[in-house]
Structure 1
Amino acid sequence: MSSLDKITTIVADTQDEPTETWLAKLGPGLITGAADDDPSGIATYSQAGAQFGYGMLWTLFLTFPLMLGIQLISAKIGRVSGHGLATNIRRQYSPALLYAIVGLLLLANVINIAADVAAMGDAMALIAGGPTHLYALAFGLLSLLLQVFIPYRKYVRILKWLTLGLLAYVATVFTVHIPWGEVLLRTVWPHLSWSTAAITMVVAIFGTTISPYLFFWQASQEVEDLHADAQAQALRRKPEQAPRQFRRIKMDTAIGMGFSNLVAFFIMLTTAVTLGAHGITHIDTSAQAAEALRPIAGNFAFALFSLGIIGTGLLAIPVLAGSAAYAMAGAFHWKNSLELAPRAAKKFYAIIVTATLLGAALCFTPLDPIKALYWSAVINGVISVPIMGIMMAMATRRAVMGSLVISRRLRWLGWLCTLVMAAAVLAMFATMAF
């Protein structure tokens, strides 16, 4: 094709594109970022604020560019190759490596679903009274029914609206007095502590913010969006679409990751200025954080915090179950799409059903959700490093990306994120050993 033909094709494609608002262009990145602030993440950020006050706010400015870089890479792999991460790993690497990663991801996600469902049940019981376990089961079943029986294009709109639930944590900040000058100073000029407790908390924040299930979900959602658009193709086959799609991915992911870290910042700030300032320094669950807020910040702040737990849980559970299903389907070459009817992708939906029901069922067992969540974080931390290393290798490999391998700047950012996570995992094992 001549240069003139290429230019003509690009202009024609641009003219055929429907006019979209910037809000309509948001999708995989926004939902992925918002799902990162799930009830278990809320518990981690609440504990950081309660125990260390303003001392951990700086971590969220560090995690933002790292999280943005690695999620951009996962999104580009999906959109350029036209396949999710598991399918690409299966095509490029040893099956044994893939099965080990997918098995550990499935285990960690089920435990995370259990913790999230339990937190939602606790939050509902705090608001309305009644049986915590039945609420937890009801939320698990509701999430499952939405995933199975609503087509992707309609369901993704529901997930977008659920991201608004996170605004409850922004609103909560404005119900209490905040010494903004001190907050700004401690955020940009932190007092670093090298105690075991501080290192453990930094590792927990990194492990909560940069999680493998987010990589698998966002890459797969880019593939879902690709299949939902009759005019779109994998970018390695139609590179003239790349500039527009890369701009959308960059905006979507930057807003999603920025929103995620901003909400985490406000959760940490709220608990620092209320719980930490009043000597409440030990928080095990997000529901405990909500209950502890009531006598200090009032019923309104308590209600906002509790409703936020339920809203973000309804957003996170589909991402956790869905990412496990995408990973399993990619590993074993099954049909997989939330756009397909259950009968057309039985094995894919079976993983969603199994992961969600197992997570809900764990709420009825003597399993300690705090210990379970701890080990889930350990598993996520351990597998995130090799997954990121594999992603970096694939994103620079022409067999996967064609001529659209990632830029040098994004390559540096991705490897920096991988090294930081590796250091965090080593620090986690060091604190466990001593």
Structure 2
Amino acid sequence: MTDATGKRRWYTQNGPGALVAAAFIGPGTVTVCTLAGVNFGYDLLWVMLLSVFATMVLQEMSARIGIVTGRGLTDVIRTQLKNLSLTRYIVLLVILSAIVIGNAAYEAGNISGGRLGLETLLGITSAAGSRWLSLVIGTLAFALLFIGSYRLLERALIGMVIMMSLAFVMAAVLTRPDLTALLQGLLRPSLNDASILTILGLIGTTVVPYNLFLHASLVSEKWRSADDLPHARRDTFIAIAIGGLVSMAIIICAAAVNAADISNAADLARGLEPLFGSFARYFLSLGLFAAGITSAITAPLAAAYVVRGCMGWPKDLKHTGFRLVWMFILGIGITFSSLGINPIDIIRFAQVANGLALPLVVAILLWIMNQTAVLGEHKNTRLNNVLGSLILLVTVALGTRTIIQVMASL
């Protein structure tokens, strides 16, 4: 009886980390990992390993802020910059542009990714059928968000993350990877001109600014005391490790296919079928659907949390303003995905905004993490600051390269 109670108690102390994992394993991540595996085999697995470590470092800081202050990251930023009016407005404007407009642009991709998974799984090829699938996914996301229950959202997303993880990992196992080559790809970094953009893409889809805002808000909803920090850290590290395992599993699957015409996970699912049987296709299609639907829920949720912090709204998932924000994000995603509109220009703007926001958010995060008035004894240690500073340098390089790349393509 004691063991059962202990297990039940352990289960109740987990959740926000799984939502963060659900957020960063979206169709964009699936696509980048697919291309990494198709073009470079196992050679870039080390990038995912480092990206997962960097994500753990930053998300732990974000979780610490949420638990110790009981507020979201945007709310803390707004409060700490209250005496610097112009700076505060500029910082909040950049954050709003990157998170709200960026997530609105990417939401169409989230819904379309989930739709692609269902199309491949169910064998649907008609355009009319595709449009209806977008509406089905959008309606499901709407229902879960509108109910406004954190516990329901948490349980639903944990379930989908488990399904997604099992689907992608099982697909990877079916490819029977070369373990020696796999370990070499994990532990022996390789870098060249051909792979640099893919490396930046892998980092950029794993270390994302909106997850920092989402995580701080989620843990402030889940926990009320600094005594819960050990639970939050364990939850964060386990969930992000699982997310990294999923990303690596996709790369492993893609490495098994020697084909130049693979551009997304749906193509990969079809390409694996003649080699490893229909089960591989079903697992990958199911994983892509789960990746799309989870990101379709977390992206609007993150945007709503950011706006709530900027506006100082109360902590209520049923607040009218909070609901209007996520409805706006979700509505744009459903419309673009249903009509087959390619929001390429908006996505380019979102990439530039995220390129600006990521180093800015990391720099502000490190600044806040060293404020005794905010965190007291829970402020950063010297090791935290060293690791955070190294990650900041990487985000600056990543943001600069992303902006240059997007500008060159205009």
What does residue 85 of structure 2 align with?
A: none
What does residue 191 of structure 1 align with?
A: 190
Q: Does 1:66 align with 2:49?
A: no
How far apart, in 2, do the equivalents of 1:36 and 1:25 lie? Answer: 21
1:20: Cα distance to partner? 5.0
What does residue 265 of structure 1 align with?
A: 248
How far apart, in 2, do the equivalents of 1:335 and 1:289 lie? Answer: 44
How far apart, in 2, do the equivalents of 1:117 and 1:284 lie? Answer: 17
AA at the equivalent of 2:329 = A
Residues 110 and 286 of structure 1, relative CA distance in 2, 3 Å threshold? farther
Q: Does 1:107 align with 2:101?
A: yes
AA at the equivalent of 2:397 = A
AA at the equivalent of 1:136 = S
What does residue 143 of structure 2 align with?
A: 145
What does residue 117 of structure 1 align with?
A: 111
Q: Does 1:180 align with 2:179?
A: yes
**Larger mean Cα displacement after TM superposition, 146-155 or 169-178:** 146-155
Residues 393 and 62 of structure 1, relative CA distance in 2, 3 Å threshold? same
What does residue 97 of structure 1 align with?
A: 91
Residues 266 and 198 of structure 1, relative CA distance in 2, 3 Å threshold? same
Residues 282 and 59 of structure 1, relative CA distance in 2, 3 Å threshold? farther
How far apart, in 2, do the equivalents of 1:378 and 1:207 lie? Answer: 12
How far apart, in 1, do the equivalents of 2:308 and 2:386 lie? Answer: 31
How far apart, in 2, do the equivalents of 1:55 and 1:375 lie? Answer: 31
What does residue 317 of structure 1 align with?
A: 296
> Matched residues, percent identical?
26
Structure 2: 5+ residue stretches without partners: 82-87
Q: Does 1:296 align with 2:296?
A: no
* Aligned mate of 2:378, from 393, 404, 417: 404
Q: Does 1:254 align with 2:248?
A: no
Q: Does 1:202 align with 2:196?
A: no
Residues 261 and 374 of structure 1, relative CA distance in 2, 3 Å threshold? farther
C-alpha distance after superposition, 1:87-139 (max 9, x if no partner):
11111221232123112211111111110101111221222215112101210
**Larger mean Cα displacement after TM superposition, 146-155 or 51-60:** 146-155
CA contact 1:326–1:336 (8 Å) conserved in 2 = no
Residues 395 and 271 of structure 1, relative CA distance in 2, 3 Å threshold? same
What does residue 19 of structure 2 align with?
A: 31
Question: How many residues end up aligned between the 2 structures?
Answer: 393
* Aligned mate of 2:305, from 326, 351, 376: 326
What does residue 220 of structure 1 align with?
A: 217
Residues 367 and 19 of structure 1, relative CA distance in 2, 3 Å threshold? closer
1:378: Cα distance to partner? 4.1
Structure 1: 5+ residue stretches without partners: 1-16, 227-231, 234-241
Residues 413 and 346 of structure 1, relative CA distance in 2, 3 Å threshold? same
Superposition RMSD on alpha carbons, in Å?
2.2
* Aligned mate of 1:53, from 31, 41, 59: 41
CA contact 1:99–1:331 (8 Å) conserved in 2 = no
How far apart, in 2, do the equivalents of 1:50 and 1:205 lie? Answer: 14
* Aligned mate of 1:84, from 51, 72, 79: 72
Residues 175 and 19 of structure 1, relative CA distance in 2, 3 Å threshold? closer
Residues 66 and 46 of structure 1, relative CA distance in 2, 3 Å threshold? same
The 5 A counterparts of 1:230-245 are 232-233=224-225, 242=226, 244-245=227-228
CA contact 2:105–2:333 (8 Å) conserved in 1 = yes
**Larger mean Cα displacement after TM superposition, 30-39 or 212-221:** 30-39
C-alpha distance after superposition, 1:223-269 (max 9, x if no partner):
1113xxxxx35xxxxxxxx3x42211211111011111111011101
CA contact 1:58–1:187 (8 Å) conserved in 2 = yes
Residues 418 and 282 of structure 1, relative CA distance in 2, 3 Å threshold? farther
C-alpha distance after superposition, 1:367-396 (max 9, x if no partner):
336776565444323211101111111111
Q: Does 1:415 align with 2:389?
A: yes
Residues 255 and 114 of structure 1, relative CA distance in 2, 3 Å threshold? same
The DSSP-based 3-state class of the residue aligned with 1:55 is coil
Query: TM-score scaled to structure 2, two decimals?
Result: 0.90
Residues 283 and 116 of structure 1, relative CA distance in 2, 3 Å threshold? farther
Which protein is bigger by CA-based radius of gyration? 1
The DSSP-based 3-state class of the residue aligned with 2:41 is helix
Residues 291 and 371 of structure 1, relative CA distance in 2, 3 Å threshold? farther
**Larger mean Cα displacement after TM superposition, 137-146 or 286-295:** 286-295
What does residue 8 of structure 1 align with?
A: none
What does residue 305 of structure 1 align with?
A: 284
How far apart, in 2, do the equivalents of 1:19 and 1:178 lie? Answer: 34
Residues 135 and 366 of structure 1, relative CA distance in 2, 3 Å threshold? closer
Query: TM-score scaled to structure 1, two decimals?
Result: 0.85
What does residue 265 of structure 2 align with?
A: 286
